[in-house]
């Protein structure tokens, strides 16, 4: 075994040992780490790595994990596609009393993000839907680390996830369910709530968040300074024929307005 063969053997051993089970490995990222395209091809030919589409691989024998794909986007390609809305609240244990789990994992991606074929064309361990929406001035606000086995990914904190639910309401997310979720968020940190509300770009989500929090009677609500939060002007309706909440200038279904 010559020196170059030994070096290559050491490199693949390190890659195999350092990569959690199910992690997607992007070819461009491996190149920056010193694994040439030729070397990557050798690893595939030798059965160490398996291609899952142009520019992406997994270790041979690994399952296709959605978390492994998200980790690759976040840590290798610097794309903030993440688990959010109710799906994030489920991971935080904040929706256990709603009985039914979501059939799909809700993913949020920055507005014009184009997802590659290797992601779209594969069947992952979890079904998903992607919402392309920019909700905050700083897209990384309100993120936290979650571990799926040995894979680390960023997901929305409960505060951000709640705002994401409300941004999707009522067309893609039930207002009644959103309120039930808010009722369970009694331990939010006021400073984080304040920061996210000040940076949110959705007037509708902010008005609903504040109204639902006040209606639920959460103790942290009294620490929120609404004077520094842009709530826009004019009335907004999310329920045709509903009842206007004058304080928040939003029209809601009767059952949520009383």
State pLDDT tens for residues 30-40.
999 999 999 99
Place of tokens 């595939």: 44
Work out the percent of the chain whose per-residue pLDDT is above 70.
93
pLDDT band at 97 (very low <50, low <70, confident <90, very high): low
Least confident of 9-23, 71-85, 91-105: 91-105
- The phi and psi torsions of 158 (rounded to 5 degrees) equal -55, -40
Range of lowest pLDDT (53-62, 107-116, 203-212, 225-234): 107-116
Cα 45 from chain centroid?
Answer: 35
Q: Is the pLDDT of residue 206 over 90?
A: yes
Confidence of residue 87 (pLDDT cuts 50, 70, 90): very high
Cα–Cα separations (whole angstroms), residue 172 to 162, 166, 213: 14, 9, 21
Of the two residues 10 and 82, the one the predictor is more confident about is 82
| Whole-angstrom distance, CA of residue 197 vs CA of residue 135 | 10
Question: Mean pLDDT in the chain?
Answer: 92
What does the pLDDT read at residue 101?
A: 60
Is the pLDDT at 2 greater than 80, yes or no? Answer: no
Burial string for 166-195 (b: 16+ CB within 10 Å, else e) reads bbbbbeebebebbbebbebbeebebebbbb
pLDDT for 224 beyond 50: yes
The arithmetic mean of pLDDT across residues 73-78, rounded, is: 96
Mean pLDDT of 18-39: 95
Place 197 in a pLDDT band, splitting at 50, 70 and 90: very high
pLDDT higher than 90, residue 81 = yes
User: In which band, very low, low, confident or very high, does the pLDDT at 49 lie, cut at 50, 70 and 90?
Assistant: very high
- Give the mean model confidence (pLDDT) for residues 38-43: 94
Region 33-52: mean pLDDT is: 94
- Residues 6 or more apart in contact with residue 256 via CB below 8 angstroms: 175, 176, 179, 215
Residue 5 pLDDT more than 60? no
**Confidence at 100, pLDDT banded by 50, 70, 90:** low
Mean pLDDT value across residues 151-157: 97
């Amino acid at each position: 075994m010559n020196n170059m063969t030994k070096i290559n053997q050491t490199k693949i051993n390190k890659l195999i040992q350092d990569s959690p089970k199910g992690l997607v490995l992007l070819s461009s990222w491996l190149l920056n780490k010193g694994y040439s395209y030729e070397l990557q091809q050798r690893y595939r030919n030798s059965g160490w790595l398996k291609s899952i589409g142009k520019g992406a691989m997994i270790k041979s024998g690994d399952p296709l994990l959605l978390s492994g794909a998200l980790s690759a986007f976040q840590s290798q390609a610097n794309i903030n596609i993440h688990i959010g809305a109710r799906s994030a609240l489920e991971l935080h244990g904040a929706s256990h009393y709603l009985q039914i789990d979501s059939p799909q994992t809700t993913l949020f991606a920055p507005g014009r993000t184009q997802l590659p074929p290797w992601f779209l064309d594969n069947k992952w361990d979890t079904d998903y839907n992607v919402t392309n929406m920019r909700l905050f001035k700083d897209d990384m606000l309100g993120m936290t680390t979650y571990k799926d086995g040995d894979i680390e990914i960023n997901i929305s904190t409960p505060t951000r996830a709640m705002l994401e639910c409300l941004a999707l309401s009522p067309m893609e997310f039930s207002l009644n369910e959103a309120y039930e979720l808010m009722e369970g968020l009694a331990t939010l940190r006021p400073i984080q709530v304040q920061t996210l509300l000040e940076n949110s770009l959705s007037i509708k989500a902010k008005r609903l968040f504040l109204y639902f929090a006040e209606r639920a009677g959460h103790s942290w609500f009294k620490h929120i300074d609404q004077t520094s939060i842009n709530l826009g002007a004019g009335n907004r309706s999310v329920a045709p024929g509903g009842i206007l909440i004058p304080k928040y200038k939003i029209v809601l279904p009767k059952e949520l307005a009383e």
